[in-house]
A and B are shown apart, each in its own frame.
Chain A
């Protein structure tokens, strides 16, 4: 009996199911990528390889619309994610480094509130709020709404990173007559950099990704890339949408890979 060798970690069927999971996650994306190179005006029939839909995206009828929308999306994402990251760094320092204060657990709940409230509810509440205080929907309302839901995404990697950094570094700095602010700026902040960068990148993607909240708080004139794409898709999927999707897909993957690599490169020095 002693030498029976059973791998207790093994379950028949789990490995094929994992591959199925991977297949299900990627197949739709890969098929859209492939069809974006389709040289045919119909999205159904295959007419050989071509880049015509990409040139349609950049020079075609809807090119101007998508260019403006992309620019809007980028500006909003940069402003929202930078602001959210700043707020998140301060919040993380308060939560992790000050040794507790009154209302700390309530603050923790507040940071996570945007994650708990369903997006559609956030969208409705924000729209009603802006309409009550008489804000005209536009850039500003979109940016404010984006900052709110970006904060928890920026906060998570930043706080996790800060928890991993030993307090003795800052204490050493203070023993050498650094002020609190100097200890923060010259010691904690550099050690925090990877966490801050991944927090920023995640917030950036989340902002770029948002459709439903933006759709509620945007004015009549302002479109972001997702709302512009949604507007086009409602009239049916055109091949140029597949080219745009592929481009956006690659951008997202690039950002996540970057965030992953940065997060890994800066594994805490022990």
Chain B
């Protein structure tokens, strides 16, 4: 845990000493009551019986998880077999998020490296340019992407006009569009952590490698990458985790065939499905996945040793 650094001299902490619990109380009240507690209630809901058209009946039931993992036939009286519908949706989400993360890494790493090797003044301008799009409304960015890649959108018009293609490329409502949307949504998240680890990289290491006749790319693979690995992992987590539960990109760019976790959950509450316990169960499964990833990350960080 990155607990704040306390100063060496204990006496200098004197001024607000003892006020900690009182000052942190509002945070506990707000986040505790309105996020931690709700997650607990959501866990309970996932074990309740559904009421038709939303809501629950307060009666213990494993139906939600059963529906997620098992198929008991149309009337529920057949021998249970593994239900693939929802596992497939989760698997597709993981796969799409992983592809988007990979693409972000391929573009993000060179960008971060390039920026970190500029002189300090130029660096801050570059960083600022990379961060701006992140602060632009995600819905608007997703709409822009949708507009761009339509069958008769600017990209296709441009390529048609220049004679590169004879037929418009169909991109919207495909897996590719979803991946592109996720990539576009979270690209800045990849650049920033890699940048901060490249910035701390000691170029004496590269010099040493060059003196030992390592080529540029050998140095990159065997010297630089191991050193900046923490930044790369952090960037991958920051892209992968929100991509996994994303709603806007799959919903607006993917269409009905390319369902992902976010849309599946949303449909249980806002859409026609109206099955709250099932939505709660799917959310719990997603939350468990994300927490697993974060735990693995924390363990990895512990191994590397934070300076």
Contact = CB atoms under 8 A, between A and B. Distances in A.
Interface stretch (B64-72, B84-92, B103-111, B225-233): B103-111
Contacts of A43: 147
Contact of A98 (B13, B146, B191, B270): B13
Given A118-B242, A144-B34, A252-B135, A124 B26 contact: no
Main secondary structure of the interface of A (DSSP, over half): helix
B241 interface: yes
B42 A124 contact: yes
Interface string A154-174: 000001000100011011001
B132 A256 contact: yes
Interface residues of A, number: 101
B107 to A, nearest CB: 5
Contacts of A126: 34-35, 38
Contacts of B219: 8
A257 to B, nearest CB: 8
Given A120-B265, A129-B37, A109 B1 contact: yes
Contacts of A114: 31, 35
B27 A167 contact: no
Nearest to A253: B132
Interface string B125-167: 0101111110111111101111110101110010000000000
Contact of B140 (A24, A129, A249): A249
Contacts of A116: 241, 290-291, 294
A217 to B, nearest CB: 10
B30 A151 contact: yes
A209 B137 contact: yes
A262 interface: no
B12 A171 contact: yes
A91 interface: yes
Contact of A120 (B20, B117, B128, B266): B266
Given A101-B20, A107-B27, A113-B36, A124 B1 contact: no
Given A94-B20, A116-B290, A256 B135 contact: yes
B306 interface: no
Contact of B23 (A14, A93, A105, A144): A93
